[in-house]
Chain A
Amino acid sequence: MDNPKSDPVVITNLSTLESFLSESANFRNVSYISPIPEVCKEYPCILGIDEAGRGPVLGPMVYGTAFIPINDQMLLEVLECADSKALNEEKRDTIFGNICEKSSKMGWAVEVIAPNSICNSMLGRSKYSLNQVSMDSAIGLIRAALDNGVKVQHVYVDTVGKPEKYQEYLKSLFPNLDIVVAKKADSTYPIVSAASICAKVTRDHSLKVWDFVEGIDVKEFGSGYPGDPVTKRFLVDNCDPVFGYPQLVRFSWSTAANALENHAYHVEFEEADEDNNTPQQTSMSITSFFKMTSSKTKEKTMHEFFTQRCLSRKVEL
Chain B
Amino acid sequence: MAIHIHSGKKHLKCNLKESKLQSVPFRIHADCDAPVSTFFEPYVQTGKNDNDKNPNLTASFRGYPLKGRKIELPEGYVGVLLHESSRPSREKDERNFYVVNKFKDMVYWNWDKIPSKNDAYLNVLDWIDVAEVLHSPITEE
A contact residues vs B (CB 8 Å cutoff): 27, 116, 119-120, 122-125, 213-215, 240-247, 250-252, 260, 265-270, 305-306, 308-311
Contact = CB atoms under 8 A, between A and B. Distances in A.
Interface string B53-84: 00000001111110000000000000000000
Nearest to A215: B38
Given A119-B63, A214-B38, A309 B30 contact: no
B63 A269 contact: no
Interface of B: 25-30, 32, 34-35, 38-40, 42-43, 60-65, 111-113, 120-121, 123-124, 126-127, 130
A125 to B, nearest CB: 4
Given A125-B113, A270-B25, A243 B63 contact: no
Contacts of A265: 28-30
Nearest to A116: B60
20 contacts: A120-B65, A123-B64, A214-B39, A214-B42, A240-B39, A242-B28, A243-B34, A243-B39, A246-B39, A260-B62, A267-B29, A268-B27, A269-B64, A305-B126, A305-B130, A308-B123, A309-B124, A309-B127, A310-B124, A311-B124
A56 to B, nearest CB: 15
Contacts of A125: 111-113
A120 B35 contact: no
B32 A242 contact: yes
Contacts, number: 93
A308 B130 CA distance: 15
Given A247-B43, A266-B29, A120 B38 contact: no
A251 B123 contact: no
Contacts of B26: 267-270
Nearest to B122: A309
A262 B2 CA distance: 40
B27 A267 contact: yes
The 5 closest A-B pairs by CB, nearest first: A251-B63, A119-B63, A243-B39, A120-B65, A242-B34
A7 to B, nearest CB: 21
A123 B63 CA distance: 7
B63 A120 contact: yes
Contact of A269 (B39, B111, B120): B111
Nearest to B40: A243
B28 A250 contact: no
B63 A308 contact: no
Contacts of A305: 126-127, 130
A306 B124 CA distance: 8
A283 to B, nearest CB: 23
Contacts of A120: 60, 63-65
Contacts of B27: 267-268
Contacts of B130: 305
